[in-house]
C-alpha cells in the first residue's frame, strides 16, 4: 500500500518538473518555442517582478513557462532593462 502511494506521489510530481525554474532564464530557442505555443501569452516588463505583476493583472496563470531577455538580466535586482515572460492563458 505504501508503495502505491509513493508511485502515485511521484507520478503526480512529474509534471511539476516541466515548470520553469523561477530563478534562471530559459535558453533563447526554447523560449521562442514557448512564445509560438498555442494558448501562450508573451508579457514584457522591467525585470521578472514587473513581468509577473503584469501577468497577474491580466489573470494569467503563474508561474511563467519561461523567462528570457537578450541581455540576460531578468533576475538582476534592480532590473536594468526589459524581460520577457511566457504564460498560459
Per-position pLDDT tens, the chain of length 89: 656 445 555 454 444 444 556 678 999 999 999 999 999 999 999 999 999 999 999 999 899 999 999 999 899 989 899 999 999 98
Does 5 fall in a domain? no
Query: Is 38 domain-assigned?
Result: yes
pLDDT score, position 82: 94
Size (the chain), residues:
89
| Whether the Cβ atoms of residue 32 and residue 62 lie closer than 8 Å to each other | no
Range of the domain at 64: 19-88
Q: Tell me whether residue 8 is in a domain.
A: no
| Residue 89 half-sphere exposure toward CB, CA atoms < 13 A | 6
Tell me if 26 is assigned to some domain.
yes
Q: Is residue 10 domain-resident? A: no
Nearest Cα neighbor of 84 from 33, 36, 50, 39 is 50
Instruction: Return the ∠ at Cα 12 (arms to 8 and 15), rounded to 5°.
Output: 150
Q: Rounded to the nearest 5°, which phi and psi values hold at 44?
A: -120, 140
Q: How many separate domains does the chain show?
A: 1
Has residue 1 been placed in a domain?
no
Amino acid at each position: 500500500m505504501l508503495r502505491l502511494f509513493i508511485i502515485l506521489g511521484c507520478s503526480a510530481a512529474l509534471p511539476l518538473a516541466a515548470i520553469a525554474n523561477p530563478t534562471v532564464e530559459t535558453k533563447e530557442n526554447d523560449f521562442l518555442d514557448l512564445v509560438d505555443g498555442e494558448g501562450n501569452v508573451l508579457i514584457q516588463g522591467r525585470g521578472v517582478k514587473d513581468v509577473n505583476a503584469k501577468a497577474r493583472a491580466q489573470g494569467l496563470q503563474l508561474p511563467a513557462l519561461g523567462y528570457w531577455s537578450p541581455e540576460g538580466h531578468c533576475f538582476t535586482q534592480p532590473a536594468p532593462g526589459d524581460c520577457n515572460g511566457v504564460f498560459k492563458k
